[in-house]
Amino acid sequence: MAYGGYSYIDKKYEPKDDDFIVLFWLDGHAPVEKLAEAVASESSVGTWTKISTMKSKVFRLYRARIFKIIKVTKDSGFVYMAYPYEHFDDKNVMQLFAGVLGNLFGLKELEDCYVLDVKLPERYQRQFKGPGAGIKGIRRYVGTTKSKRPHVGTIVKPKVGLTPKEFADVAYKAWLGGLDLVKDDENLVDQKFCPWKDRFDRVANTLDRVEAKTGEKKLYATNITDSNIERMIERLEHVKDSGMKMVMLDVFILGTPTVMKIVDEARKAKLFVHAHRAGYAAHHRGNFGINFGIYEKFWRLVGVDQLHIGTGVGKMEGGALLINHFHRIAEDYHIPEKFYLGSLGETWWKKIKPILSVASGGMDPGKVEAAVAIHGKNVVIQAGGGVHGHPGGTLAGARALRQAADAIAEGISPAKYAKTHKELRDAIKTWGYVDPDTVKAKFAFEKGMKRKMLEWMVLKKGLKGIRAIWEEL
């Protein structure tokens, strides 16, 4: 099964602590062993034929090694590869991407090529600073260190079209109603109908007034995303000079090098970075794809403080088990290996702080308790339509969302809390209530012998089995 005259399969190989481990799903027009050899060759030292320049030292030290194959059919299966640390540049994330997430997708033998996970050695992680503030820093600023309640926020809607004054008026009502965070949406930056500086200055003044009135710290995540890096830095400096605390980046759209540069500038300015993941699903949802959790790992490494990861109960793809897994990548220091989720597991270096997850997309107050069952309390519950679509308007919608979070902090079900809180009651009447027991049942199903059932389904159906678990559970 050698590819290009060389064999990359070595089932006796035991990965080293410094190796990068990558888990692939492969399916195509040849036995899975040959497909695996082709991917290993293309992503490391080889090509389609024997070459006179291939030295034994190169092949011995720098090739990818296929150390495990779990076959589903003759032509498909899960492939585990180990790449030596020296294969990659120091701190050059894009060179690593070009290898394990690059040219291999174009191999014509492949019908499916999905990268499920990349395990990062601690030696590599130590090159990065991680989040400047993370969960603890943001909680300390907002003042929720003791209560541990979920944070609540909104996206000003409509996404685009409001004037700076109209935008600031919506933000005022949202904060006055008890929300911690107001943010721009992913496609609002500096349009003529709402210039960035005018909008930002008006919202900053509004924030100051609301903080004085409520006695609570508030955050505004202003979108500074731009194709011009100098312009992004100018906006960041304006945020800093205005005494505000947060900027927002469309991290997938911007690309890792730009994100690294701006995050570094934000850290110097002591600003929090709110990361929106717009665009990620073009890779995450296809048969030729890259799992979102891989991008998430790198965004935690380079140091964003808040990151959209999905809800598990809203309008975006992803069921409870998958979103809980993404949450663990963001918050935990040890993520267990779970084959049926496509997870290799991960252990973070102790200095890489946890990220505050953002649950956004189709959220409303009636989904808060179910979302907390998936994420825990270290989460920002963010609702756009679920605030501004409230029958009482934005102020009432904000109050309803905050009431749901306060209920959680007090150990009371929001469904019960609604009996004495009109805004929450009206929200639940409008959008319904998601029983958290339906979520908890999915985690109960995962445990014990049921885990073997999930593994059996994946061994039987391959990537389709994993996708079913991602979506149904």
Question: pLDDT tens-digit profile of 179-238?
Answer: 999 999 999 999 999 999 999 999 999 999 999 999 999 999 999 999 999 999 999 999
Asked whether residue 206 is assigned to any structural domain, the reply reads yes
Asked whether residue 211 is assigned to any structural domain, the reply reads yes
Determine the pLDDT at residue 2.
75
Alpha helices in 22-119 (DSSP H): 32-43, 56-62, 93-100
Determine the pLDDT at residue 424.
98
Of 213, 218, 220, 178, the closest CA to residue 199 belongs to: 220
Residue with structure tokens 């949802």?
Answer: 285
C-alpha 10/C-alpha 20 separation (Å) is 16
Asked whether residue 296 is assigned to any structural domain, the reply reads yes
Asked whether residue 449 is assigned to any structural domain, the reply reads no
pLDDT in tens, 337-354: 999 999 999 999 999 999
404 and 368 Cβ atoms separated by less than 8 Å: yes
Maximum average pLDDT range among 55-69, 84-98, 293-307 = 293-307
Report how far apart, in Å, the C-alpha atoms of 390 and of each of 17, 151, 174, 328, 417 are. Answer: 52, 19, 12, 32, 17
The domain that holds 74 is classified in CATH as 3.30.70.150
Residues 262 and 390 in one domain: yes
Q: Looking at the annotation, which residues are catalytic?
A: 157, 276
Asked whether residue 45 carries a pLDDT value surpassing 90, the answer given is: no
Determine the pLDDT at residue 4.
67
Determine the pLDDT at residue 240.
98
Asked whether residue 309 carries a pLDDT value surpassing 80, the answer given is: yes
Residues 114 and 152 in one domain: no
Asked whether residue 282 is assigned to any structural domain, the reply reads yes
Residues 319 and 276 in one domain: yes
Residue 419 is given by DSSP the state G
Boundary-marking domain end, from 102, 125, 148: 125
CA angle 383, 313, 415 (to 5 degrees): 75
The domain that holds 190 is classified in CATH as 3.20.20.110
Determine the pLDDT at residue 362.
93
Residue 1 pLDDT class (50, 70, 90 cuts): low
- Contacts for 32 with CB less than 8 Å, ≥ 6 apart: 26, 69, 71, 73, 74, 75, 76, 77, 79
424 and 390 Cβ atoms separated by less than 8 Å: no
Of 24, 105, 122, the closest CA to residue 64 belongs to: 24
Determine the pLDDT at residue 3.
75
Asked whether residue 473 is assigned to any structural domain, the reply reads no
Residues 301 and 249 in one domain: yes
pTM value is 0.95
Residues 110 and 138 in one domain: no
Q: Express as a percent the part of the chain with pLDDT over 70.
A: 99
C-alpha 332/C-alpha 336 separation (Å) is 10
Structurally, how many domains does the chain consist of?
A: 2
Asked whether residue 295 is assigned to any structural domain, the reply reads yes
Boundary-marking domain end, from 125, 159, 175: 125
Tokens read off for 99: 């290898």
Domain limits at 348?
134-438
Q: What's the mean pLDDT in 82-109?
A: 92
Determine the pLDDT at residue 403.
98
Q: Is the peptide bond before 158 cis (omega within 30 degrees of 0)?
A: yes
C-alpha 397/C-alpha 405 separation (Å) is 13
Residue 6 is given by DSSP the state B
Determine the pLDDT at residue 77.
98
C-alpha 96/C-alpha 98 separation (Å) is 5
Residues 419 and 325 in one domain: yes
C-alpha 442/C-alpha 450 separation (Å) is 10
Asked whether residue 449 carries a pLDDT value surpassing 80, the answer given is: no
Across the chain, what does the average pLDDT equal?
95
Residue 101 pLDDT class (50, 70, 90 cuts): very high
Boundary-marking domain end, from 63, 92, 125: 125
